[in-house]
A and B are shown apart, each in its own frame.
Chain A
Amino acid sequence: MNQQEGYADDIVKGFVIWSMVWGLVAVLVGVFISFQIAFPQLNFPPYLTYGRLRPIHTNAGIFGWGIGSFMAFFIYITQRLTRTSLWSPGLAKAQLWLFNIVIALAAVTLAMGMNRSKEYAELEWPVASLVVVLWVIFAVNIVMTIVKRREEQMYISLWYILATLVGVAVLYLVNNAAIPVSLTKSYSAYAGANDANVQWWYGHNAVAMVLTTPPLAIFYYFLPKATGVPIYSHRMGVIAFWSLIFMYLWTGAHHLLWAPVPDWVQTLAMGFSVMLIAPSWAAVFNGYFSMNGQWHQMRENYLVKFLIFGITFYGLQTLQGPSQSIRTFSAFIHFTDWVPGHVHMGTLGWVSLVLFAAIYYTIPRLYHSEIYSIGLANVHFWLVLTGQLIFSITMWIAGVQQAAMLNATNPDGSLHYSFIETMVELYPYWHMRAVGGVIYLAGLLVFLYNIYQTIAGAKTQAVAQRA
């Protein structure tokens, strides 16, 4: 524990550093598999194939980089908003060890081909069971810290943190219900269309409870900290929170439009998905209105640039997502490259930009130092922004072209193009996506170098002061 300040911040350092390690793994593997699609000869069976590496990319990105960072900032934020130290720093230390063991086990088992074939729920039951233990440890520590808080009212970030803890637990337990037949193989407890429905109830709400509520908690905390001005409206934040929670859990079936699940389930999911625009944009407007009289900080304060671009991508993401949930549009873009373009605007644009800002804000404070180079932070910003935009825009164009080809028919009603003909036409876009990925990776390396130098400089300074 950092005795001087009374907050258990050493553990925050650990989670931040390890999340950056897993983030680098996620992007490296992501760039490699983008090259594998552009150049199929880069697939080396059995371990280094797209099929084995793709879930490693998503698990390292969402669970290693995403959840690792969220654990760091939930611990950092909760202590400060409750004005009390972490309930159990020892438990958090055990959590950090278990977190890394789980992510490493996930990478190894997925590379060996142990996979439940459920997107974002690929891990077989022994590893999934460890994830449950990990989450219980984490949730108990955060909830107990909130219980013993010294602040009577809870700031909006704490509501989002609590929703994440409860939401992830419910989703993970229900969707991972399985019957093990061996140490490395299990079968889902659900069958057929029910299994698909549960999977996408989980899958889309993983987007809600992992890629939306935690970054919102972090955004609501770090934007006022970065600008020095409180958020525009706390009450608007509270209403947006409850409406988001009320609506999100019904939307999963929009992944199953035109599939053999009841029509009313699909319509319900579509309706709630469109309604979600309101709470999502309430958060966006809260961010924008908080900048009233402060827009000059976009030019002067690199943290603000990351945060405001991040919330802007969240806004765009939450317009594009509901559009995609409408039956006619879904019929057009489903099963095309439009979808990875959409997903990466959320993960690279929204989630990662907010996390970069949070890391830039906290690391110098945790190490009692200054950031090594604001210039490098700006280079980092422009590289990741350029890389992400090249990636997403290229995939959207590729998706529209692919959709148009897949839907083209001859006068007799037969398909004009075969599936493989659409694939051949996509090669130029896949090359561009790989270029976008390389630019993003370059930006990430600049970021890691900047953070490394900040920490190294702080340690050197501490040694000099002691001497």
Chain B
Amino acid sequence: MDSASIYYLGVTLILFLIFVVIVVRTYSKKHAVRGEEPKFRMMDDDYPN
């Protein structure tokens, strides 16, 4: 395995770890209600605040 392959694999792993953090945060209990708020708020956006 040369340095280019290790670098390539390293970038993939870092991206995967970031993805795991996003999943954990999105589905955390703390975030459950707040994470669904935008879908309700967008239903009434015909006029600016």
Contacts and interface: CB of A to CB of B under 8 A. Distances in A.
B12 to A, nearest CB: 8
Contacts, number: 71
A79 B32 CA distance: 26
A238 B42 CA distance: 15
A7 interface: yes
A63 B14 CA distance: 34
A157 B45 CA distance: 14
Contacts of A5: 46-48
A46 interface: no
Interface string A78-110: 011101110000000000000000000000000
A83 to B, nearest CB: 5
Q: Which of B38, B40, B46 gathers the greatest number of chain A CB atoms within 10 Å?
A: B38
A150 B26 contact: no
A368 interface: no
A75 interface: no
B38 A154 contact: yes
Contact of A242 (B22, B42, B43): B22
A29 interface: no
Interface of B is mostly: helix
A234 B36 contact: yes
Contacts of B22: 238-239, 242
A445 B36 CA distance: 40
A428 interface: no
A85 B46 CA distance: 12
**Interface size classification for chain A:** 20 to 34
A296 interface: no
Interface string A139-160: 0000000000011011111000
Contact of B45 (A81, A154, A156, A246): A81
A7 B39 CA distance: 21
Nearest to A365: B46
A235 B46 contact: no
A225 B45 CA distance: 10
Given A83-B45, A239-B26, A156 B38 contact: yes
A242 B46 contact: no
Contact of B36 (A85, A221, A233): A233
A225 B46 CA distance: 10
Given A5-B46, A81-B45, A85-B48, A155 B38 contact: yes
Interface of A: 5-7, 79-81, 83-85, 150-151, 153-157, 221, 224-225, 228, 230-231, 233-235, 238-239, 242-243, 246
Interface of B: 15-16, 19, 22-23, 26-27, 31-32, 34-43, 45-49
